[in-house]
Structure 1
Amino acid sequence: MATLLRLLKYVRPSGMLVVATLTLMLLATLIDLLAPWVLRKVFDDGISKSDMGMVLMLALALFGLQLGKSLGSFAQGYTQELIGQNVVFTLRKQMYEHLQRLPFKYYDKAQTGQLMSRMTGDIEAVKNFVGFGGMMLVAGMATFVGTLIFMCSMQWQVTLLALSPIPLLLIVMWMFSRKVGPAWGKIREQMGRLTTTLQENISGIRVVKAFASESKEKSKFAGRNEQNFETNMHRAKLEANAFPLMGFLGGLTFLIMIWVGAVYVANDKMSLGTFMAFQWYTWGIIWPLNMLGWQINIFQQALKAAPRVFEVLDTKVDIESPADGGIDAATIRGSVKFQNVTFAFDKKSNEEQTKDLSKKEAAAASEQDRMEQENRAVIHDIQLDIKQGEVIAVLGATGSGKSSLIALLSRFYDVSEGSVLIDGIDVRDYELDGLRRSIGIVPQETFLFSASIRDNIAFGRPEATQEQIENAAKKAQIHAFIVNMPYGYDTLIGERGVGLSGGQRQRVALARAILMDPPILVLDEATASVDTATESAIHEGLLEVMKGRTTFIIAQRLSSIRRADRIIVLDSGKVVQQGTHRELNEQDGFFRRLLERQEMAAASSH
């Protein structure tokens, strides 16, 4: 019921359309109820009395009624669809906007295929009920009740006898409704899994082909497809068991009416006109009940689909600007301080864990969570003070916490303990969008959009001039390549940058960050996919870019960090070394071992 009431809130803005649609439906129902009554008059007051003028007048009245109903049905069908589309439009808009606001930790666990399934199929199921099923349910109920009133006013005994199969029909519908609901729930979940498998396969098709794993992927998809098939066939079996029985009981109602009505006509207890009207009216009893089976189907689909949509909408956005809007980030200069920073990927928030506990239990649970968090932490008690304009290199083995440390700067995640300060202000106090615009990032996993190269470079600054875009491309050592492409900066690139090499994609991403002209620049393995000659040229171009700009360089190649003012070495989330290139080379540790390995590799390659 709560889900249904929540759905109705999305219908409320279309209230006038709903009133108009229901009015048209009730008028159509009234016409359907009057038509058999007019037919009764044709037989009883026209044909039986050989009054052809009366017959003609009543026939014209029937024609007028049907013409009016047809015109009303056109308007009704349009407004019904408009109501459904309004709900779909609002739901999709809200869901998409909410997905934009959700933090990184949500996407660490969310499956793209499931989100796509909810955004498309689940919302479409909601529209079918709101725009069609719900309205038809009202029309069916009005038709059923109105028909009973007209029939009982004409001949109540025949009406009650004809309705004798209806209680059994209602029992069948109730049993069907109980079973088909869970079946649709499974179908919606299976469709999400099928979409996820399909999305992953298409996105990773190059990896699949590279490892000759087409057979394995076909087998995986076939398994999902078979599960989806079996789930749908289980639902179809429920329908196949219920719908024919509903149709039989509805037909039985019609047969009883004919038999009993004929007996009453033969005994002069019912006129022939009333008998003919009853044949028409009986369909006003049968079709709403038969349609109820389909409406139950549509209702159960929506009832299982809507919570999947609301689950996304109800996901808490716990990383956003302060309630008062936050401090304007336009004045950021670039000094950074990590003050006793500890960070762990949350399993569950303290608030969720302790809200139903007593104070003593909550304190114990909080302490236990603190210890567990400490064990799960990827960054432990980091203390760093970085001056504005300083170039900081961050080194460490895979999983040492390098990228996690930098992710805290832009509040992709919030610290578990301590604080990250920019210009002496906690990053949580800044206006979020402004904070992120002040930090230019070239991520380790480069993502480009299906658009022109110009649009990709200007993604964060769409108002940039062509000259500014080209200057950024030159500093990223990609301008010469772009101008030699068939359409230059207007060249369209495929999804995720297909058509460019890894190094080319990385340089476009670097140009995108440079164009932002941020006071803080983060290069996360930004030259990992380019050759050493190109890397050297890029670093020469970056010398000007990094002047007066706080820069963090995360790299494995020591050639990338030679110009760093300070090098931070992380191990298991802790700072184990820091200093200049010369200072660290004189110490025994990770840095010197890495330097020796790379020098040996360079020597052996020659």
Structure 2
Amino acid sequence: MKVMLRLTKYLRPNAKLVATAFGLLLLGTFIDLLAPWLLKEIFDKGIANKNISVILALTLSLAGIQVIKSIGMFIQGRSQELVGQNVVFALRKDLYNHLQRLSFSYYDKAQTGQLMSRMTGDIEAVKNFIGFGAIMMLLGLLTFIGTIIVMFFMQWKVTLISMSTIPLLLFVLWKFNRKVGPAWGQIREQMGRLTTTLQENISGIRVVKAFAREREEEGKFKDRNEQNFETNMQRAKLEANAFPLMGFYGGLVFLLMIWLGAIFVARGEMTLGTFMAFQWYVWGIIWPLNMLGWQINIMQQAIKAAPRVLEVIDSSVEIASPAGGGADADSIAGNVVFEEVSFHFPDQDATKDKGVLEGISLKVRQGEVVAVLGATGSGKSSLIALLSRFYDVSGGRLLIDDTDVRDYDLDGLRRKIGIVPQETFLFSASIRDNIAYGAPDATQEAIEWAARKAQIHAFIETMPFGYDTLIGERGVGLSGGQRQRVALARAILMNPPILVLDEATASVDTATESAIHEELLEVMKGRTTFIIAQRLSSVKRADRIIVLDNGRIVQQGTHKELFEEDGFFRNLFQMQDAAAAR
């Protein structure tokens, strides 16, 4: 109930539409209660007295109120749908906007398929209840209560006896509601898992095919699909057990009404008009109860879906701009200082687990080119991730221009750091849009300049539509090296004071790598540049080389200085030199 009450905040901006729908709902309920009474009057005052004028007047009145009801239902239905769509629009926007603000640590654990399921199916379930189910439940309740009151005043004995099976029907509804809730909870969760399996398979289809694992993936999806099928069938079994029984008890109400009504008419204790009206009124009792089963279904879907959506919205944003906006990053020059920096991932215990980084102290001057080397898992990428506050330091301080990175406006800070990530990601858009992603207002000349520096311009010119060529999802229309060069051009175009190249040329051949580095010499002038690489050819022009091992700096110096020392750098140099000589 708390969840449903919380969702009412999304109804507040639609207060006028909700009021319109509710007003028309009351009007429709009043007409539904008035119509059988008019029918009663037609029989008792028109037909019984053979008064044609009364029959005509009441019939026209009956037709008139039905026309009014139809118009009202049209406006009510449109208002309901508009409320539902407005709610789902606002809820989906809030969810998506919050996903943009959530930190990297959240996505380290989150499953894309589950998020997709919550963004689509779960929000749709909430919309169905708010936009349709809730108003129909209210309509049913008003109709049910109003009908019983009117019938009770018209002939209380028949009404009371005819409703003897209603408690049985309500008992069936109570049992159904108690069991169908958990069933819908399992269905929502199973659908999230099914979506996750589908998303992972499509994203990794090239790996699946490369290892000929299609049959195994089909089996995995089949298992998920069968679990979803079985869960849905369990829910369908509950409906199959409850709905026919509700229909049976509802039918008994109708039969009792006919039987008792006929007896009371024969005895002269009930007029024929009242008997005919009761046949109409009885549906005002039966349909709300029968429809309540479906409405409970819709409500339980929303009750189980809404917490899954709100769980994401309630997830804390661990990394954000300081309260009040933070320091202006526009004047960043690029002086970087690590002061005894340590870093643990959020799921690590800082008091027991060894940190990814420990005791890192490093000063980098504006315009200096620093290469970071180390074995896999040594903490190279983590060191760089702290610069843009993808994560926050666990201990110590990281300063840019004598200001702690945590004190900067977050968006401004990240716009001043151009990153070419190790895992290149391109969007399903044109090459131009991908290069200009960080600088959408860039001119064509600037885009081409960045592409030339990244050694990708000549290739783009050979594409069917040049820079307007669409490259497909995740850049599948390009090779790994081409994607990497587009990502490099994207970072260069931002013209940032700090440039980070995380294995930026790992996917290109040595000749292209050499050409890229020649072009980057000009780009790196005046910029603080961090180069993470395994190839020594990528770091030979660095002003300084930092060697990490188990999260600590174990070597530091120029290419020449480190070569003269016994350690990781010289061993790596000798291995690559031997490999090149083969």
- Alpha-carbon distance in 2 for matches of 1:9, 1:166: 36
- Alpha-carbon distance in 1 for matches of 2:438, 2:556: 33
- Alpha-carbon distance in 2 for matches of 1:509, 1:77: 50
3-state secondary structure, aligned to 2:361 = strand
1:260 equivalent in structure 2: 260
Q: Establish whether residue 123 from structure 1 lines up as the match of residue 103 from structure 2.
A: no
- Alpha-carbon distance in 2 for matches of 1:376, 1:89: 45
Note the alpha carbon deviations across 1:315-359, whole angstroms, 9 max, x for none: 0012010001000000000010111111011127xxxxxxxxxxx
2:469 equivalent in structure 1: 491
Counterpart of 2:420 in structure 1: which amino acid?
V
Q: Within 5 Å, which residues of 2 pair with 1:98-177?
A: 98-177=98-177
- Alpha-carbon distance in 1 for matches of 2:446, 2:367: 22
- For 1:512, which of 475, 482, 490 is the aligned residue? 490
Counterpart of 2:532 in structure 1: which amino acid?
I
Q: Establish whether residue 445 from structure 1 lines up as the match of residue 431 from structure 2.
A: no
3-state secondary structure, aligned to 1:450 = coil
Q: Is the 8 A contact 1:345 1:376 kept in 2?
A: no
Counterpart of 1:395 in structure 2: which amino acid?
L
1:357 equivalent in structure 2: none
Note the alpha carbon deviations across 1:76-132, whole angstroms, 9 max, x for none: 110000000010000010000000000000000000000000000000000000000
2:81 equivalent in structure 1: 81
1:211 equivalent in structure 2: 211
Deviation of 1:8 after TM superposition, in Å, equals 1.1
Counterpart of 1:243 in structure 2: which amino acid?
F
1:397 equivalent in structure 2: 375
3-state secondary structure, aligned to 1:518 = coil
Deviation of 1:406 after TM superposition, in Å, equals 0.3
Q: Following superposition, which runs of at least 4 residues in structure 1 exceed 2 angstroms of deviation?
A: none
Note the alpha carbon deviations across 1:5-38, whole angstroms, 9 max, x for none: 1011111111111110011111111111111000
1:430 equivalent in structure 2: 408
Deviation of 1:49 after TM superposition, in Å, equals 1.0
Counterpart of 1:599 in structure 2: which amino acid?
D
- Alpha-carbon distance in 1 for matches of 2:234, 2:327: 57
- Alpha-carbon distance in 2 for matches of 1:320, 1:74: 47
- For 1:371, which of 334, 338, 351 is the aligned residue? 351
- Alpha-carbon distance in 1 for matches of 2:153, 2:434: 73
- Alpha-carbon distance in 1 for matches of 2:383, 2:180: 50
Note the alpha carbon deviations across 1:42-91, whole angstroms, 9 max, x for none: 11111111112211111111111111111111111100000000100000
1:363 equivalent in structure 2: none
Q: Is the 8 A contact 1:123 1:305 kept in 2?
A: yes
3-state secondary structure, aligned to 1:329 = coil
- For 1:385, which of 338, 354, 363 is the aligned residue? 363
- Alpha-carbon distance in 2 for matches of 1:47, 1:576: 106
Counterpart of 1:402 in structure 2: which amino acid?
K
3-state secondary structure, aligned to 1:165 = helix
Deviation of 1:376 after TM superposition, in Å, equals 3.8
1:457 equivalent in structure 2: 435
Structure 2: state its 5+ residue gaps: none
- Alpha-carbon distance in 1 for matches of 2:273, 2:354: 83
- For 1:529, which of 503, 507, 515 is the aligned residue? 507
Note the alpha carbon deviations across 1:216-243, whole angstroms, 9 max, x for none: 1000000000000000000000010001
1:469 equivalent in structure 2: 447
Q: Establish whether residue 584 from structure 1 lines up as the match of residue 566 from structure 2.
A: no
3-state secondary structure, aligned to 2:330 = helix
- Alpha-carbon distance in 2 for matches of 1:491, 1:246: 60
Counterpart of 2:324 in structure 1: which amino acid?
D
- Alpha-carbon distance in 1 for matches of 2:512, 2:338: 33
Counterpart of 1:139 in structure 2: which amino acid?
L
- Alpha-carbon distance in 2 for matches of 1:602, 1:200: 38
Q: Which moved more, 1:5-14 or 1:213-222?
A: 5-14
2:385 equivalent in structure 1: 407
- Alpha-carbon distance in 2 for matches of 1:60, 1:580: 99
1:572 equivalent in structure 2: 550
Counterpart of 1:199 in structure 2: which amino acid?
Q
Q: Is the 8 A contact 2:126 2:302 kept in 1?
A: yes
3-state secondary structure, aligned to 1:330 = coil
2:310 equivalent in structure 1: 310
- Alpha-carbon distance in 2 for matches of 1:423, 1:14: 49
Q: Is the 8 A contact 2:133 2:295 kept in 1?
A: yes
- Alpha-carbon distance in 2 for matches of 1:206, 1:174: 51
Q: Establish whether residue 41 from structure 1 lines up as the match of residue 26 from structure 2.
A: no
Note the alpha carbon deviations across 1:400-459, whole angstroms, 9 max, x for none: 100001000000000111111001110000000000000000000000001110000000
- Alpha-carbon distance in 2 for matches of 1:554, 1:220: 38
- Alpha-carbon distance in 2 for matches of 1:216, 1:558: 41
Q: Within 5 Å, which residues of 2 pair with 1:553-568?
A: 553-568=531-546
Q: Is the 8 A contact 2:427 2:472 kept in 1?
A: yes
3-state secondary structure, aligned to 2:488 = helix
Q: Establish whether residue 319 from structure 1 lines up as the match of residue 319 from structure 2.
A: yes
Q: Is the 8 A contact 1:390 1:565 kept in 2?
A: yes
Q: Establish whether residue 220 from structure 1 lines up as the match of residue 220 from structure 2.
A: yes
Counterpart of 2:495 in structure 1: which amino acid?
D
Q: Establish whether residue 544 from structure 1 lines up as the match of residue 522 from structure 2.
A: yes
Note the alpha carbon deviations across 1:512-556, whole angstroms, 9 max, x for none: 000000000000000000000000000000000000100000000
- Alpha-carbon distance in 2 for matches of 1:476, 1:333: 23
3-state secondary structure, aligned to 2:399 = strand
Counterpart of 1:188 in structure 2: which amino acid?
R
Counterpart of 1:430 in structure 2: which amino acid?
Y
3-state secondary structure, aligned to 1:371 = coil
Deviation of 1:370 after TM superposition, in Å, equals 3.8
- Alpha-carbon distance in 2 for matches of 1:561, 1:402: 14
Q: Establish whether residue 420 from structure 1 lines up as the match of residue 398 from structure 2.
A: yes
- Alpha-carbon distance in 2 for matches of 1:370, 1:232: 44
1:331 equivalent in structure 2: 331
Structure 1: state its 5+ residue gaps: 349-368
2:270 equivalent in structure 1: 270
Q: Is the 8 A contact 1:457 1:508 kept in 2?
A: yes
Q: Is the 8 A contact 1:28 1:69 kept in 2?
A: yes
3-state secondary structure, aligned to 1:395 = strand
3-state secondary structure, aligned to 1:388 = coil
3-state secondary structure, aligned to 2:546 = strand
- Alpha-carbon distance in 2 for matches of 1:423, 1:603: 44
Counterpart of 2:429 in structure 1: which amino acid?
A
Aligned-residue CA RMSD (Å): 0.7
Deviation of 1:371 after TM superposition, in Å, equals 2.0
Q: Is the 8 A contact 1:438 1:520 kept in 2?
A: yes
Identity over aligned pairs, percent = 73
Q: Is the 8 A contact 2:344 2:350 kept in 1?
A: no
1:593 equivalent in structure 2: 571
Deviation of 1:147 after TM superposition, in Å, equals 0.4
